[in-house]
Amino acid sequence: MTRGAVALLATLNLLACGAAVEPSKGSTGSDGSPPAAARAGAGAPGIGDPHFPLDGNGGYDVAHYALEIGYVPASKHLDGEATIRATATQPLSRFNLDLHGFKVSEVTVDGAAARFSRDGDELSVTPAKPLAQGAEFAVRVAYSGEPQPVRGSSNLGTYGFIPTKDGAFVTAEPNGARTWFPANDHPADKATFDFKITVPRGVTALANGELLSRKPAAGGGTTFTWRESNPMVTYLATATLGKFRLREGKTAGGIPNLAATDPRYAGALDKLYERSGEITDHWVKVFGPYPFGSTGGVIDDFSAGYALENQTKPMYGGFEPDESIIAHELAHQWFGNSVSIKRWKDLWLNEGFATYAEWLWAEHRGDSTAEQRFRTALNRAADDAIWSYPPGDTRPDDLFHESVYLRGAMTLHALRQEIGDDTFFKLLRTWAAEHEHGNATTDQFTALAERLSGKQLGSLFDAWLFQPRRPAV
């Protein structure tokens, strides 16, 4: 999706990397200047996130991923064909995609064979003809092999496309989309998705958005076609495969709702369906219109012990979620999925908000107030790790630190106390509306809070988000 800032970042990154501009091929344009092709350089290998320098790529902006995936659980073999529509944001002699593992058999750009090479997770593509700035192009990548999920590069264990006994558990935050498709794998480049997934008979494929069709496949098996027609960051894409019980319908408020559970959690299907619907409808009242075409949730039997807010289909790994965690993952549909971060240091905009939503849900249920939860956290010992880790500046080696969640939520509560309930809830709704389906930064949030409240909030945000010590309250 085109965002000026992303293009600018990419350009700055290109300059910073000192990427060489390839020499002119001799011919000149009719006005004497070199044609775009001759001036074209290489797209940067990263999108410009200082904490994750090789994540995403520079020089283009993806609009759409069309993914055709065949997967056989017994052999763990994946056959993929990805067609990516994008716009060049600079003249490009070559550009990169992120891809982890697999054998790439063929790459084309606008139908013409392209040269390609691999270096770590960078797949570098040289089109037959350079791309002019502003050119829309389609790159098609054919690849296959056994998916290799990422281990240990964050504090969350394994993530990405994780093979399971009956299929796959796919949760890819922060940069595991590349473990199952070639991607501009960074949240700053959102795109729409089509999924065509072929699996053996009896296996169900659950991807984002809505199911368009389910048909017998030519060579046996079943092909599921899903479409996510709203922009989505790459880490939220899923193709979760396995034996599932499904319950489909609408929430009381009229939002299509789909719950799915592994047979081992069959007894939790109705509760998952009902709570997900009820909580989605409640968040509509608090945060504003639901940003996507459907809601729901999936419980798989892979014992991840964690959940991920996959767009339209939060995933619960090996446990029956309670209301609090459902409230958390569904709040992410507004905060994280619709309003997405532009760089990983702002992760509290996702996790602080979703954690605060847990407090709001408890308050709504009459269990405990947000004030009580805030006080309890504030009473943590002076040497507690949340006080030395400022949540507004995440560390790449400890991205999902508890501080990002808990002190992030406390930041919102301190803000609510300062500006009052009316302005605070108006702020949450305005934030969700102004950046719907986009990307935003902490600076934009603090500016909006100051605008709506008419107050100077610099020292509040500085103490809560950026200082390595417990704020004075």
Nearer to ligand TRP, 37 or 325 (CB): 325
Q: How many chain residues interact with ligand TRP (CB under 6 A)? A: 10
What are the angstrom distances between the C-alpha of 435 and each of 310, 340, 372, 414? 19, 8, 31, 23
Nearer to ligand TRP, 96 or 238 (CB): 238
Q: Which does 308 bind (CB under 5 to 8 A by kind): Zn ion, ligand TRP, none?
A: ligand TRP
- Residue from 159, 181, 265, 424 touching ligand TRP (CB under 6 A): that is 159
Span near Zn ion by CB under 5 A; candidates 66-74, 130-138, 222-230, 354-362 = 354-362
Considering the complex, what minimum distance in angstroms separates the CB of residue 385 from Zn ion? Answer: 18
Q: Cβ distance 184 to 60 under 8 Å?
A: yes
Nearer to ligand TRP, 126 or 158 (CB): 158
Q: Which residue has the tokens 């070199």?
A: 34
d(CA 101, CA 181): 10
- Residue from 121, 166, 173, 189 touching ligand TRP (CB under 6 A): that is 173
Considering the complex, what minimum distance in angstroms separates the CB of residue 293 from ligand TRP? Answer: 21
Residues in region 373-432 near ligand TRP by CB under 6 A: 400
Per rule CB under 6 A, is residue 306 in the interface with ligand TRP?
yes
Q: How far is C-alpha 357 from the chain's CA centre? A: 19
d(CA 19, CA 13): 9
Nearer to Zn ion, 261 or 350 (CB): 350
Pull the structure tokens for residue 234: 């790459």
Considering the complex, what minimum distance in angstroms separates the CB of residue 292 from ligand TRP? Answer: 17
Q: Which residue has the tokens 């406390």?
A: 410
Nearest alpha carbon to residue 53 among 344, 394, 439, 339: 344
Per rule CB under 6 A, is residue 188 in the interface with ligand TRP?
no
Q: Which does 171 bind (CB under 5 to 8 A by kind): ligand TRP, Zn ion, none?
A: ligand TRP
Q: What is the DSSP string of 5-24?
A: HHHHHHHHHHHHHTPPBPPP
- Residue from 268, 325, 354, 440 touching Zn ion (CB under 5 A): that is 354
Residues 6+ apart with CB under 8 A from 33: none
- Residue from 300, 323, 346, 351 touching ligand TRP (CB under 6 A): that is 351
What are the angstrom distances between the C-alpha of 349 and each of 330, 392, 404, 407, 411? 15, 9, 9, 11, 10
Question: Which chain residues interact with ligand TRP by CB under 6 A?
Answer: 156, 159, 171, 173, 306-309, 351, 400
